[in-house]
Amino acid sequence: MPELPEVETIKNALVPVVVGQSIVDVELFWQKALSKPSPDEFRRELIGQTLEGIRRRGKYFLFDLSGDKTMILHLKMTGALLFETNSDQKHITAIFRLNGTDLYFIDQRKFGSLWLVKDEQEVIGKLGPEPLDNNFTPGLLSQVVNRHSIPIKALLCDQHAVAGIGNMYADEALFAARIHPLKRAKDLNISEINGLHDSIIEVLERGIRHNGASISTYRLPDGAEGMAHTQFQVAHRRGEVCLTCGSPITRISIRGRGTYFCPHCQPE
C-alpha cells in the first residue's frame, strides 16, 4: 500500500501539472469506489470545477476545488494516479479529463476510495498527527505510545495514532531506533521514544527524497518508479543479511501485518 512518502511524492508531481486546470469530464468505471455522493451527483458537481490545489493528509489526497467541496482520494492497496496508462479498462476506476491532460485512477484490486464532501473532516477527522509537521514532537509521540499496550509496530500502523505510516516505514523506523517490533508501546522508555521520533522523520523524509518505494504497483504519475526501496534496511528483505551486523533479516506477522526486523540489532 502506498504510504506517506509515496502519496507525498505523487502529490508533488501532480501539483505543477494539474493545479489550475478545469475538469472537463469525469468517467467513473468502478462506482463502488465512490463513498459519497451518488455517481451522477459526483460527476455533475465535478465537471466545470477548477483544481485549485492538492494537499495530503496521512495517506489521503485532498483536491481543492473552485466550489465549496473537496474531492478526497485514497489509493489503498494497489491504486495509482497516472497521466497515461496501458492498463486494461477493468483496472481503471475513474478518468478525470482536464482541459490540459487526463488523470487516470488505476486500481487493480479495486480497494481505492473517492469522496466529494463539503466538510473534509468527516473523512479525515479521526486521523492522528502528521509525523512531518512541526507539532509532532517527542512529547507528542510519548503521549501516543503511553496510551497503548499493543506492539509498537501495530501502533505505528494505526492511522488514528500517527497518520501516514504503514508497514514498510514502520519497519524501517523501528530498525533505525533499534526497537523490537513486538515491544509494547507503553513500555518504551524516554530514550527509545526520542530515538523513534527521530527515526520516523528520518525514514519518511528519505522515502520522499527517493520518490517512494516501488515494491509492487506504485508508480509516479508519469509512470516512473520510485527508488526508496533501494535504501531499505529491513523492509521486504527477509533472508538477506542485515547491512549493519550481517545477521539474517527475519519476517514475522504482527496483527496480520508482515513485519521485517533484525533480531540482533533489535533484540526482544
* Active site (catalytic) residues: 2-3, 59, 257
Cross-strand pairs, 254: 257
CA distance 60 to 216: 19
Rounded to an integer, what is the distance from CA 254 to the centroid of its chain?
19
Dihedral angle of Cα 214, 208, 124, 150, to the nearest 10 degrees: 80
HSE-up of residue 213 (Cα within 13 Å, Cβ side): 25
The C-alpha atoms of residue 265 and residue 180 are separated, in whole angstroms, by: 9
Instruction: Using alpha carbons, select from 45, 47, 41 the residue that is nearest to residue 69.
Output: 45
Instruction: Give residue 168's region: left, alpha or beta (phi > 0; psi -120 to 50).
Output: alpha
Tell me, rounded to whole angstroms, the distance of Cα 163 from its chain centroid: 9
Residue 224 DSSP class: P
Count of residues making up the chain: 268
Residue 68 CA to residue 81 CA, distance in Å, equals: 24
Q: Residue with C-alpha cell 505510516?
A: 165
d(CA 122, CA 238): 39
CA-CA distance, 73 to 60, in Å (whole number)? 6
Grid cell at residue 187: 513500555
